[in-house]
Copies of this chain bind each other. A is one copy, B any other.
Amino acid sequence: MKIDLNADAGESFGNWKLGRDEELFPLLSSVNVACGFHAGDPLTMGRTLELAQKTGLAVGAHPGFPDLVGFGRREMAATPEEIYADVLYQVGALSAFLKVRGLALHHVKAHGALYNRATRDPETARAIAQAVRDFDPAVPLVVLPNTPLEQEAQRLGLRTVAEAFPERGYSRDGRLAPRGTPGAWIHEPEVAARRAVQMVVEGRVAAVDGGWVEVRAQTLCIHGDNPSAVEIARAVREALWAEGVSIETYA
């Protein structure tokens, strides 16, 4: 049995450092690299890919809204045409850094408010998926299962990769518990690790509102900007290993 373990990466910007990529990368199997709109800059992208290549990680693009000061976390009323062009631009920019290293684009995952909007809004989902498909129909899109993001991508014939979040609380109806509500975030590495095992081995996780919720996951996401990201990734990795699950990316 195997599962992919991903994290956002390359989230520094110019003189500002963010994340512990050097420590985190050896614990992962894939990374989502910021492309300059919400984080990342050309120099940082090049250095992040150098590190990813050295570590042998699969590299995906992580396009976001054009909002550096808001880190791409503020929803913007961009049109589908704008979202399509913004995603294509960012995927292309990252692809150039991959190309010069002989690496292939492994996947695309939308960032922050763009991802969230796409889990609710079919037009946003379709614009993202269309950009990926037009760029390279063989590249899969990471999605939150059972949302318009998954549905629209599949409708366009794009491969999807279902993602789950061991650090995030889920409600019984399968949705992520809204930030700010009790149980929305898990901080203890052991708890996150136990949940990762539940998700991968049992296909379910304990819900914040009681009982269990089914979870479908081909990749688990660790939040790289979490100060304890490294400890959580290590605990998740070891707990999965102990259950006979290896951390390997999808083909």
The listed residue (B76, B97, B134, B225) touching A88 by CB distance below 8 A is B97
Q: Does A85 contact B (CB under 8 A)?
A: yes
Hey, which chain B residues are within 8 Å of A225, CB to CB? Answer: 15
- 29 CB contacts below 8 A, A to B, read A13-B13, A13-B69, A14-B68, A15-B18, A15-B39, A15-B225, A16-B16, A16-B18, A42-B85, A42-B86, A42-B89, A43-B85, A67-B76, A68-B68, A76-B76, A76-B77, A85-B97, A88-B100, A89-B93, A89-B96, A90-B93, A92-B93, A92-B96, A92-B97, A93-B93, A93-B96, A95-B95, A95-B96, A96-B135
Q: Count the copies.
A: 4
Q: Does A104 contact B (CB under 8 A)?
A: no
A interface residues, Cβ below 8 angstroms from B: 12-18, 36, 39, 41-43, 45-46, 66-71, 73-78, 81-82, 84-86, 88-97, 99-100, 113, 134-135, 225
Contact of A135 with B99 at beta-carbon distance under 8 Å, contacts A69-B14, A70-B76 already known: yes
